[in-house]
Amino acid sequence: MVYYVEYVFAENFLIDFILLFITGKLLKKTIIFRRLIISSVLGAIYVILTAYIGREFMTYFIVKFSVSVLMVIIAYDSKGIAANLRTIIVFYITSLLMVGIITALYFLDYDKLTVNAIVCSIFMGYAALHFFFKEIKTKIEKHNYMRNVEIAVNNKSITLRAYIDTGNELTEPMTGKPVIVANLECIKSLITKELYEEILKCCRNNNSYENLLNMKSNVNLRIVKYNTISSIGKNMICLVPDNIEITDDKNNIVKTDAVIGIYPGRISKKDDYDALLFKKLLELERETNNEYVKSC
């Protein structure tokens, strides 16, 4: 079979351009087409030299890797070693996925490999990688919004895994304190059995709260009204704790004055957290971190 230089050059230029373009899209980098064209030309020239000059050293891994790194640096002049390394890794992941798709299409439809394989690999590869990176990003963001919450009531304390809900702006009307929504079963150890059963009865049957509020208990309770998308004027029983400490994964502690809204059902469908924190916490954490920096 005869291979023409211009055909080999055009094919490799197109593939390199697509790979670099997808890499930039996945990392949300500023795409400068002039840089991508120069980088793709470099990759195509390397293939031509390897195929037609045939020098053995051109096929060494270190040479191939160096050329790919140079291509990525030319296409995306990222600042810092970590940023460049991340771009190189994504470029290789994209390349390996495209090779896998093209190989699969090769066995499925050999006669139309060149055109169909490249076109299909573009859409299939980009869609797969976009979904993959979106899932990773979602998990990272969710992990960054997780906190440990220690709640103390009458010399008793529990620690819950909580998630910062940016849509939770619920406050207790009398004091303006933010509300942390917690699962009833998880705070069961903080209250008496009688109080637990009465709270559960009120939550399930939406009974009058007079009996609950008139119960002799050393726990301070509140009733907070709130609205949802499906209903208006719903009531939530809230517990006023003695102390609340919120700790992130870096062991930074934020002490906050809040009330605990009691929810009878599961907070998370996957049971990976038991409470919902309030949006204002992010501001409190920034203020606390700034104080740590100033004190240093």
pLDDT-based confidence at residue 169 (cuts at 50, 70, 90): confident
* 151 vs 200: CA distance, rounded Å: 20
Q: Which among 103, 106, 101, 133 has a CA at the least distance from the CA of 120?
A: 101
- 156 versus 255: which is more confidently predicted? 156
91 and 101 share one domain:
yes
129 and 12 share one domain:
yes
14 and 94 share one domain:
yes
pLDDT-based confidence at residue 143 (cuts at 50, 70, 90): low
Mean pLDDT of the chain, nearest integer: 78
Residue 59 has pLDDT above 60, yes or no: yes
Question: What's the pLDDT at 150?
Answer: 92
User: What total of structural domains would you count in the chain?
Assistant: 2
Lookup result for tokens 């929504």: 181
89 and 22 share one domain:
yes
CA 138 to each of CA 57, 144, 193: distance values in angstroms, whole numbers, following the listed order:
43, 10, 39
* 146 vs 161: CA distance, rounded Å: 7
Structure tokens at 24: 């930039």
37 and 97 share one domain:
yes
Question: In 3-state terms, what secondary structure has residue 113?
Answer: helix
Q: Which domain holds residue 201?
A: 145-295
Average pLDDT over residues 56-80: 82
Average pLDDT over residues 257-279: 85
* 75 vs 278: CA distance, rounded Å: 42
